[in-house]
Amino acid sequence: MPAERLQKLLARSGYGSRRSAELVIAAGRVTVDGIVAILGTRADPDTQRIEVDGERIRLEPDDVTIVLNKPTGIVVTAVDDRGRQTVFDILHDPPPHLRYVGRLDRDTSGLLLLTTEGELAHRLTHPRYEVMKTYEASVDGQVADGALQRLRQGVMLEDGMTAPAVVEQLPGDTPPTNLRVVIHEGRNRQVRRMFEAVGHHVARLRRTAFGPVSLDDLAPGASRVVTPQELAALRALVGLGPQNEA
Ligand code: URA
């Protein structure tokens, strides 16, 4: 691991924010290989011994945010009481504290975000931030203009009116049975229920984007860590600064 600023390393070891870690350093309580550190000191925790009050620090693993292309048939839950395969069963070596950001139905495929960062997960699913989710729906029957208009304006579901949505035909799809739907709400089975409300059964549903993060050509069942640019964009959307900035 390359040398990093001590205040960042201390903040990752349970010494509070970087600001409070700076106070610990300024108080002369931190040593690197036995030498008292000053503000601005950098160290490599893999090769150097960093101590606070004579005790070696222990680093928490960095937070991680993952994109999974969830196949259909997989359940988004920590443990399924019916013993069905969950998203955690198909991830390779998921880190501790990884949690999903919102859910997808068992029959829905596509982009599922998972993160170890609790505050990020909380905000990305909070209605206040209105994070846009993009879906591709294949529906039974031909969707008339009137139905498209109703979906765009909002339809009445049993838990209230839906917010205005973007609903458009996928290129080359005439008559319209394959549609792109962009909504910021995240109610249970919302897209399926929206189409039911205008008389169409959704035969296939896939989420292709969550805010600024897209599925692109990630294979079904495969996962990847979000890029630093995607993470910064996700965090900015929900009013969080750069990662680990305290
Ligand atoms: N809308 C649905 O109907 N299902 C999902 O999984 C997500 C959105």
With the most atoms of ligand 1 within 8 angstroms of its CB, the residue from 70, 135, 155, 185 to mutate is: 135
CATH of the domain at 70: 3.30.70.580
Residue 107: inside a domain: yes
With the most atoms of ligand 1 within 8 angstroms of its CB, the residue from 77, 205, 215 to mutate is: 205
> Do 87 and 136 belong to one domain?
no
pLDDT at 194 > cutoff 50 = yes
The domain in which residue 122 lies consists of: 65-127+212-237
**In the prediction, which pLDDT does 14 show?**
87
Residue 243: inside a domain: no
Residue 160: inside a domain: yes
How many distinct structural domains can be found in the chain? 3
**In the prediction, which pLDDT does 1 show?**
72
Tell me how crowded residue 62 is: count the other CB atoms within 10 A of its CB: 11
Q: Is 184 in the pocket of ligand 1 (CB under 6 A)?
A: no
Q: What is the pLDDT of residues 208-236, one digit of tens each?
A: 999 999 999 999 999 999 999 999 999 99
> Do 101 and 217 belong to one domain?
yes
Task: From residue 130, give the alpha-carbon distance in Å to each of 84, 151, 182, 220.
Answer: 31, 18, 11, 27
Q: Pick from 30, 50, 47, 52: which is nearest to 39 by CA?
A: 30
> Do 122 and 172 belong to one domain?
no
Residue 245: inside a domain: no
> Do 152 and 193 belong to one domain?
yes
Rounded to the nearest integer, the mean pLDDT of the chain is 94
Q: Is 104 in the pocket of ligand 1 (CB under 6 A)?
A: yes
**In the prediction, which pLDDT does 17 show?**
84
Q: What is the pLDDT of residues 99-118, one digit of tens each?
A: 999 999 999 999 999 999 99
> Do 110 and 225 belong to one domain?
yes
> Do 49 and 101 belong to one domain?
no
Give the domain-ending residue among 38, 56, 74: 56
**In the prediction, which pLDDT does 242 show?**
79
> Do 104 and 222 belong to one domain?
yes
Three-state secondary structure readout of the chain: CCCEEHHHHHHCCCCCCHHHHHHHHHCCCEEECCEECCCCCEECCCCCCEEECCEECCCCCCCCEEEEEECCCCECCCCCCCCCCEHHHHCCCCCCCCEECCCCCCCCEEEEEEECCHHHHHHHHCHHHCCCEEEEEEECCCCCHHHHHHHHHCCEECCEECCCCEEEECCCCCCCCEEEEEECCCCCCHHHHHHHHCCCCEEEEEEEEECCEECCCCCCCCEEECCHHHHHHHHHHCCCCCCCCC
**Quick one: pLDDT band at residue 246, thresholds 50, 70, 90?**
very low
Gyration radius (Cα) of the chain, Å: 23
Taking the centre of ligand 1 as the mean of its atom positions, its distance from the CA of residue 186, in whole angstroms, is 8
Residue 242: inside a domain: no
> Do 10 and 112 belong to one domain?
no
CATH of the domain at 32: 3.10.290.10
Q: Is 105 in the pocket of ligand 1 (CB under 6 A)?
A: yes
With the most atoms of ligand 1 within 8 angstroms of its CB, the residue from 77, 104, 185, 215 to mutate is: 104
Q: Is 108 in the pocket of ligand 1 (CB under 6 A)?
A: yes
CATH of the domain at 184: 3.30.70.1560
Q: Is 12 in the pocket of ligand 1 (CB under 6 A)?
A: no
State percent of the chain over pLDDT 70: 97
For this structure, is 46 an active site residue? no
Residue 246: inside a domain: no
Q: What is the pLDDT of residues 78-92, one digit of tens each?
A: 999 999 999 999 999
- Give the global pTM: 0.84
Report which protein residue has its CA nearest ligand 1's atom 6: 104
Least confident interval from 12-16, 52-56, 86-90: 12-16
> Do 115 and 137 belong to one domain?
no
Across the range 234-239, mean pLDDT stands at 96
Give the position, in ligand 1's atom list, of the atom nearest the Cα of 183.
8
Q: Pick from 68, 221, 198, 195: which is nearest to 136 by CA?
A: 195
Residue 222: inside a domain: yes
**In the prediction, which pLDDT does 96 show?**
87
Taking the centre of ligand 1 as the mean of its atom positions, its distance from the CA of residue 188, in whole angstroms, is 7
- C-alpha distance across the termini of the chain, in Å: 21
Residue 244: inside a domain: no
pLDDT at 245 > cutoff 60 = no
**Quick one: pLDDT band at residue 18, thresholds 50, 70, 90?**
confident
Report which protein residue has its CA nearest ligand 1's atom 5: 104
> Do 72 and 118 belong to one domain?
yes
> Do 102 and 172 belong to one domain?
no
Asked whether the beta carbons of 178 and 137 are under 8 A apart, the reply is yes
> Do 39 and 82 belong to one domain?
no
